[in-house]
Amino acid sequence: MQMNSSKANYMTYPYPSEPGVYLMKDNNQNVIYIGKAKNLKKRIKSYFTNSNSSSLDRVNWKTNLLVSRIKNIDYIITDNEIEAFLLESNLIKKYRPIFNIELKDQQRYTYLRITDEKFPRLKVARRNRNGEFTETKGEIIGPFVKGSSRYLSVGLLRKMFKIRICNTLPKKECLEYHIGNCDAPCINMITEEKYKENIISLKKILKNNDNLKSFYNELENEMKIASEMQDYEKAIYIRDTLHRLKNILQYQKMENNVSQNTIEEYIGIIEDNNEGAAHVMTLMSKNGVINDMKKYQFDLLGDNTIESFISQYYLTSSIIPSTIYINREIEEKEKLQEILFELTNVKMKIIPIREEIKIEDHLSENNLQNKWDIMQLILSNLRTYMSKRHEPELDELMHILNLSKLPYVIDCFDVSNFGNEYAVGACTRFVNSIPSKNGYRRFKIKSINHQNDFGMIEEIVKRRYGINEKSDQVFSEIKRDRAPDLIVIDGGKGHLNVALKTLEKIGLGHIECISLAKENEEIYTRFSDKPVVIPKNQKSLKILQHIRDESHRFGLNYNIALRRKKLIQ
């Protein structure tokens, strides 16, 4: 394999028609996205061929945000698709690009480090963003599961084996010596040889479960003897030590898991078009016991798919199941299973399990129902989580106005006139019913030199969504920015009709559009000549009023600023 670069003219560079991996870079030559392809030429060029207006309804705004930041593209040719898939997974793990799927939970395994010093210390081994250890001197031991408990156990291990905690040996013994947690090598209260015997004992426990269990049993016997001798203070201390030591008994090495035949994993996925993201929940079943539920999220852009998620997930997982149940069909399932075997050295079977799927040959009807019930539990949890991520009044607004989708992103247009000389337009944006200042735009009217609200509405709608006045084609802004779910026009039925015709003309006729007439707060839609009136105490109306008033304020302030500037001149 050889890496090639297309720094110059990357959009028209003659890419090969072979399988491989491509690396997209920004202005600073940072890798921002990595993808795989059966055909590099077709896949890379597909990012730059969705510019015509008729395809805007299919354009993913997050993908176009990625495209706007690309400055050059490197690529690596591979012998086949499987090799491309494996290379992509490893490169993502290495570079961790900001637009790729990043599993926030992937570093949940803790490593310990015994320092390379005359009197060694025990520390948690820390990793940088690339997964490399920040300090390499000394001996790394691990990984260990239950990382959060491990932090508690480090202190326990130091106390049990009298390991010093000071960064440099002091000239005088510290409090740790006086409370019995350290043997004070700083003042020669323990020889170097004896101290290292404690280190050797510590290593044996960390590296071998059997040694740890033997040590646990020894402490248990000591506790019984102390209790019989009525040394209750010592017995209580050992009891507490045993309780905390159970955390260490969870120790597992990634290659020494329980029998693979007894592990199943369920993966549920729901895509949220409001966020342009997929929500995933996983649930592990070990020996028939359900546990270890985790939630993830990734952006829907480029080649970010559930297949990519699964490969990244098991590339970093410590426990590999023999069977994966998922709530959707997987394209080229056999190929993905082959890739997972290459990644994990475990033969994993992927079984789609959905209501409309018939019983698999190897599953009894009762068994299948049990699997389906578990998947329903996962999907129910995901839906509950997702429902809490948007304001409930948006559901109310969608229902009242009979909208085809949740109005998660709302744009509102208003014009502000003061004579013929000072005419401006404004657009404000609310995301999840909250003002999003990045989406605000203001316009000094160019095409109208007299009071004509309809003409001004047409101009600012065109300009807001990136119209090139010469070609009359949608170009950059709507591609880099998310298209709204709902457009609100400040005005009556006439204003709405102008906006609808303008949106249709520029290829955005699929976007829902309404107008809000201020006098009686009447809402006009494209589907009816009669206005919709929402009771004034309902929160759904208050959202529309808020964004309308905000666009009026924003436009008026711009108008005032222009007049002040004129007066100063």
Residue 254: what pLDDT?
34
> Are the C-beta atoms of residues 25 and 99 closer than 8 Å to each other?
no
What are the angstrom distances between the C-alpha of 227 and each of 214, 220, 234? 20, 11, 8
Rg (CA), the chain: 32
Residue 251: what pLDDT?
40
Closest to 157 in 3D by CA, of 222, 194, 231, 207: 207
> Are the C-beta atoms of residues 91 and 21 closer than 8 Å to each other?
yes
The answer for residues whose C-beta is within 8 angstroms of residue 423's C-beta and 6 or more apart is: 415, 416, 417, 444, 445, 448, 451, 456
Residue 543: what pLDDT?
93
Order of all β-strands in the sheet with 3-5: 3-5, 72-77, 20-25, 31-37
**Cα–Cα distance for residue pair 191/193, rounded to 1 Å:** 5
Instruction: Give me the residues paired with residue 443 across strands.
Output: 425
Domain architecture of the chain: domains with CATH: 3-95 (3.40.1440.10), 110-250 (no CATH), 260-387 (3.30.420.340), 395-568 (3.30.420.340)
Structure tokens at 227: 């209790």
The answer for residues whose C-beta is within 8 angstroms of residue 172's C-beta and 6 or more apart is: 186, 187
- Neighbour-count burial of 440, counting CB atoms closer than 10 A to its CB (0-12 exposed, 13-18 middle, 19+ buried): middle
Amino acid, single-letter form, for residue 5:
S
Average pLDDT, the chain: 81
Phi (first) and psi of residue 98, to 5 degrees: -70, -25
Closest to 44 in 3D by CA, of 79, 72, 81: 72
Structure tokens at 557: 């302030």
> Beta strand pairing status for 72-77 and 20-25?
antiparallel
Cα torsion through 256, 260, 264, 265, rounded to 10: 40
* Three-state SS at 163: coil
Residue 232: what pLDDT?
83
Closest to 302 in 3D by CA, of 99, 103, 80, 88: 99
Which parts of the chain have pLDDT scores under 70?
1-12, 50-60, 103-110, 127-132, 142-153, 208-212, 237, 240-241, 243-261, 288-289, 291-292, 355-366, 368, 419-420, 466-481, 569
Would you say the pTM of this structure is higher than 0.95? Answer: no
Structure tokens at 299: 């952006």
Residues recorded for the chain: 569
Alpha helices in 273-327 (DSSP H): 306-316
**Cα–Cα distance for residue pair 485/463, rounded to 1 Å:** 18
**Cα–Cα distance for residue pair 215/205, rounded to 1 Å:** 8
The answer for residues whose C-beta is within 8 angstroms of residue 275's C-beta and 6 or more apart is: 389, 408
**Cα–Cα distance for residue pair 569/561, rounded to 1 Å:** 13
